[in-house]
């Protein structure tokens, strides 16, 4: 059983890698961004509230995000483990997640950080915006999101590093190349078992 978090700046490829890693580890991938976007598209009350923040590149408030994650982690498909993508993003959310997991006598096994240079990330995200037409991917919003990441999320990284469960992987390169790097980094962790696809 693996309980894992993938963390990294906007545009570092977290979503793509999360899908691939979850498949190899045999656990469900939980993306807060995907859940928010589904709610925005469905114009649910959560989506309407979340959109105001997302369009400005701001983090959705903890009260909204925490409830969503708590509800998602209570579903039966996470019993065999999970891979969280996009949460926690602040130290307050780390504490909340700790409490959720402690309630079920659980804890995170590993935190994987994808690293990348800001200039590369801006170029990637502007390219993605052209392809997908995402309203939250303008240059000013992208830079704001990167600034927020450095201000707030890096404290999360430091907290997990202090617990000795942080593994860093270079997120620049082809998708397969990064996946191989990630799997190579976590293969040595006794707390994680990779499902053989052979």
Go through 83-114 and write b for each residue having 16 or more CB atoms within 10 A of its CB, e for each that does not: bbbbbbbbeebbebbeeeeeeeebebbbbbbb
**Average of pLDDT values for 105-132?**
90
List the catalytic residues.
14, 89, 128, 134, 145
What is the per-residue pLDDT for 44? 85
Sorted by sequence, the CB contacts under 8 Å of residue 129 that are 6+ apart come out as 137, 138
Compare 57 and 117 and report the one with higher pLDDT. Answer: 117
First to last CA, the chain: 20
> For the structural domain made of 2-187, what CATH number should be given?
3.40.50.300
Structure tokens at 153: 């999320």
DSSP state of 111: E
Average pLDDT, the chain: 87
User: Which secondary-structure segment (H or E) carries 117?
Assistant: none
Task: Look at residue 193 and tell me whether its pLDDT is greater than 80.
Answer: no
Question: How does pLDDT run across 35-80, given as a tens digit for each residue?
Answer: 888 888 898 888 888 888 888 878 788 888 888 888 889 889 998 8
Q: What are phi and psi of 149, to 5 degrees?
A: -60, -50
Is 63 within 8 Å of 7 (Cβ atoms)? no
pTM over 0.75: yes
Distance set, CA 66 to CA 73, 82, 83, 101 (Å) = 11, 16, 16, 13
Structure tokens at 69: 């994650």
What is the C-alpha radius of gyration for the chain, rounded to an integer number of angstroms? Answer: 16
């Amino acid at each position: 059983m693996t309980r894992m978090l993938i963390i990294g700046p906007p545009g570092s490829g977290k979503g793509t890698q999360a899908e691939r890693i979850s498949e190899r580890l045999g656990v469900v991938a939980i993306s807060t961004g995907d859940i928010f976007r589904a709610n925005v598209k469905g114009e649910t009350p959560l989506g309407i509230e979340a959109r105001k923040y997302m369009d400005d590149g701001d983090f959705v408030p903890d009260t909204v995000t925490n409830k969503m994650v708590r509800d998602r982690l209570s579903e039966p498909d996470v019993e065999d483990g999970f891979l969280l993508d996009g949460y926690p993003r602040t130290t307050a959310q780390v504490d909340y997640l700790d409490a959720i997991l402690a309630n079920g006598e659980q804890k995170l096994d590993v935190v994987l950080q994808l690293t990348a240079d800001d200039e590369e990330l801006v170029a990637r995200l502007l390219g993605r915006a052209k392809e997908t037409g995402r309203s939250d991917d303008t240059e000013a919003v992208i830079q704001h999101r990167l600034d927020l990441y450095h201000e707030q999320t890096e404290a999360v990284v430091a907290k997990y590093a202090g617990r000795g469960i942080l593994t860093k992987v270079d997120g620049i390169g082809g998708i397969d190349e990064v996946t191989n790097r990630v799997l190579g980094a976590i293969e040595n962790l006794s707390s994680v078992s990779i499902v053989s696809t052979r």
